[in-house]
Amino acid sequence: MILPYLNPSLPTQQRIDDLVERMTLDEKIGQLNQIFATPESEERDKEMIRQGQVGSRILAFSAHAGNDETEADAYTPLWEFQRIAVEESRLGIPLIFGRDVIHGHLTVYPIPLAQAASWDIELVEAAAKATASEAVSDFVHWTFAPMLDIARDPRWGRVIEGSGEDPYLCSQMAKAQIRGFQGEDTSAPGSMVACAKHFVGYGAVEGGRDYNTIEVTENTLRNTYLPPFKAAVDAGVGTIMCAFNDWNGIPCSANGYLLNTILRNEWGFDGYVISDWDSIKGMVEHGSVEDAAVAGQHAIQAGVDMEMPGHCFATHLRQQVAEGTVSEATVDQAVRRILRIKFMAGLFEEPFVKVRKQQPKGLKSEHRQLARKLAAESMVLLKNNEDALPLANDDNCTICLIGPLIHARRELLGNWTLDGRPEDTVTIAEGLAQLRPDLKIAPADAAVDAQIRLARKSDQVILVVGEDHFRNGENANIADITLPAGQAQLIDAIHAIGKPIILVVCSGRPLVLTDIEPKVDAILWAWHPGSEGGNAIADILSGNVNPSGKLPITFPRATGQIPIYYNYKNTCRPVDDYYGEDSRYQDQVGKPMYRFGFGLSYTHFEYSNFTLDRSQMLTDECITASIQIKNTGKASGFEVVQCYLRDVVASTIRPVRELKGFQRIHLKSGESKTVQFSFSESDLAFYGADNQQRTEPGEFQLWIGPDSSATIGGKFYFKQSKDSNIATERQACLNPDPSFC
């Protein structure tokens, strides 16, 4: 007879109950243990699996896999490990294999910060789905993505891994990525479990120094840092990773208020929480506990279920349960949460590879197309003096391509790319050569002087500069966010000989361009664009694709302007658009170099006919703002229409404006469309001084426009009724069907 926990036709809860009932304490503790395996530890690891002492394996060799060149080797021998778990361990509980599959697997998509610049929810979801389909074929059941840390300090190396500075945009990206990774059914072929990380506040590390402390009030936590995680939970994310940092003096790996009170009790999260690598033991270094045993005790009691390599649970829990310092019920609860996700992922039915076939040698053409499209959509045109771009089709104009990154492969893939192969990457030189066979390309070994001589002989120069893939990422912070050494001088040298410069910048973070901008005719911010980066850059420069990317993060004029972000709280010296005379520095203007939401196109969009359908909104009502957008230029293109809101007077200070909606629309030359945004009471809600979600009556201002400086708009008054219930209003008035546009 088939044991109940192995019977897929029984309800999951019944299967979990049956299995937990059969488990010894050691087997339970084993489920909470994630190991990493090296060739040297293989025999010991197999024995531990056989004994039921392992619940998961991370496919990485070190705590900062993103910056480790050897990570591609971390796969062996997965099949054998799983076979031992299901065939030779007493209960046959499958392992769950996790890996940092962050922005692509074999096919690499642009870095997450770049994906956010596309503002294209469907495409970001499609990329995550394609990523999952490749990764599961390599035995990855679970990815440690998406990273949902709001990041407002580009010195922080991990700014590349998230969606930038804004809670709303980050929440939309979170939902898209989770839908893409997990699909409708996480047990289906091609789906994998997602992990929202790092819970919470990691993006606020002081001075952008990785692993540092944060100072974030509960009010800011709830209004700014938590919303993307709430969106992830609402989207059904299977797991959450807690952060290295503390919040309110308590490390996130033992912060019961965050993990139990907010995540589980308030939000109803029913997946499991994993620590970060060694983050439980890290509490000893934090100085919040005396030793690893107490660290483990605090972590499990605060709601951490699985320990990423660190061994506090595996080494000490047995004795702690025997002594009564940790109850077996607490262990059971963690085991149940882990088993629930293993059942949900279908691991008991299909413990091996869900998509059984060999990975292709090259990349799938449909994944390449997707990567090319997303890379092109994510690029942001920051300057285009006198229509320097797209490149003119003029036989008399010679164009050259120079710069340190034109033949780069690995660098284009970006940080946190463990499996993307440099040999599958299209370089910028290759991409452009296909579209412009007449292009003069500096050879890979050309010295700087030779590149300058080539520029001198040309009429126009495409100069590619930027960061390599290890200048950002985990623990890769920089104190001065300027271009890497020597690149500004190269720009100066070309400028000095009077050649028009098309500057292409590949980077994982915003960089300061204040002195460079006046010396160049056009700037294309290409980020780290992934496997199809070279083709995507060629698509934009040639005009085959009209740029539509918009910045998901503010670009400062100087490192000293940091922090600078569009949605700061209103001050006693109010200004509408970043910082005014009273709060700027004496040696710098108050505005940034490029604002949040900014990005140019090869065409022009004109905004007009703004209307609000009512001037007063009651609790049960929706308010709808409309605007007409016309493509007044010659090229057809996409525009990201953005809607911002301000709560003019509230019991706690609110941001000067907050993004509340966006739509990406296509307009042919001469075409007009009307775009609408509808809001209900829940869209006006915020967390007040009591840290409860609330809405307050009064005046609201709303703007619609092409970036965060939007000036066209109007105001309305909100009046609350007694039975207002903000939690249930949301569904009542979603934005109109996109087909409207």
Catalytic site positions: 276
Contacts of 695 by beta carbon, 8 Å cutoff, 6+ apart: 681, 682, 684, 685, 686, 718, 720, 724, 726
Which residue type occupies 83?
Answer: R
What does DSSP say about strands 460-466 and 605-612: parallel, antiparallel, or unpaired?
unpaired
Which among 323, 296, 331 has a CA at the least distance from the CA of 311? 296
The verdict on whether omega for the bond into residue 198 sits within 30 degrees of 0, i.e. cis, is: yes
What does DSSP say about strands 380-384 and 522-525: parallel, antiparallel, or unpaired?
antiparallel
Distance between CA atoms of residues 383 and 600, nearest Å: 7
- Closer CB to ligand NOJ, residue 45 or residue 276? 276
CB of 720 to ligand NOJ, least distance (A): 41
Which among 270, 246, 248, 275 has a CA at the least distance from the CA of 260? 270
Radius of gyration of the chain (CA): 26
CB of 83 to ligand NOJ, least distance (A): 25
Cβ 166 vs Cβ 707: under 8 Å: no
Q: Which residue has the tokens 């949605």?
A: 567
Residue 568's Cβ-side half-sphere holds a number of Cα atoms within 13 Å equal to 22
Cβ 408 vs Cβ 428: under 8 Å: yes
The verdict on whether omega for the bond into residue 86 sits within 30 degrees of 0, i.e. cis, is: no
3-state helix, strand, coil in the chain (%, to 5): 35, 20, 45
Distance between CA atoms of residues 625 and 680, nearest Å: 12
Long-range contacts of 319-323 (CB under 8 A, 24+ apart): 319/293, 320/293, 320/296, 321/25
Could you give the angle at the alpha carbon of 506 between the alpha carbons of 541 and 587, nearest 5°?
105
Nearest-CB residue to ligand NOJ?
A: 144
Which residue type occupies 464?
Answer: V
Contacts to ligand NOJ by CB under 6 A: 60, 63-65, 100, 144, 197, 276-277, 474
- Closer CB to ligand NOJ, residue 474 or residue 539? 474
- DSSP assignments along 353-422, one per residue: -SS-SPPPSS--HHHHHHHHHHHHHH-EEEEEGGG--SPP--TT--EEEESTTTT-SHHHH-SS-SS--G
Q: Is 118 exposed, middle or buried (0-12, 13-18, 19+ CB in 10 A)?
A: buried
Handedness of CA 561, 563, 567, 568 (dihedral sign): negative
121: how many CB neighbours lie within 10 A of its CB? 17
What does DSSP say about strands 250-251 and 460-466: parallel, antiparallel, or unpaired?
unpaired
CA–CA distance from 686 to each of 441, 618, 646 (Å)?
54, 17, 11
Which among 419, 417, 426, 493 has a CA at the least distance from the CA of 455? 493
Q: In the 8-state DSSP scheme, what is residue 736? A: P
Q: In the 8-state DSSP scheme, what is residue 311? A: -
The verdict on whether omega for the bond into residue 360 sits within 30 degrees of 0, i.e. cis, is: no
- Closer CB to ligand NOJ, residue 277 or residue 718? 277
Distance between CA atoms of residues 569 and 656, nearest Å: 6
What does DSSP say about strands 713-719 and 616-618: parallel, antiparallel, or unpaired?
parallel
Cβ 494 vs Cβ 455: under 8 Å: yes
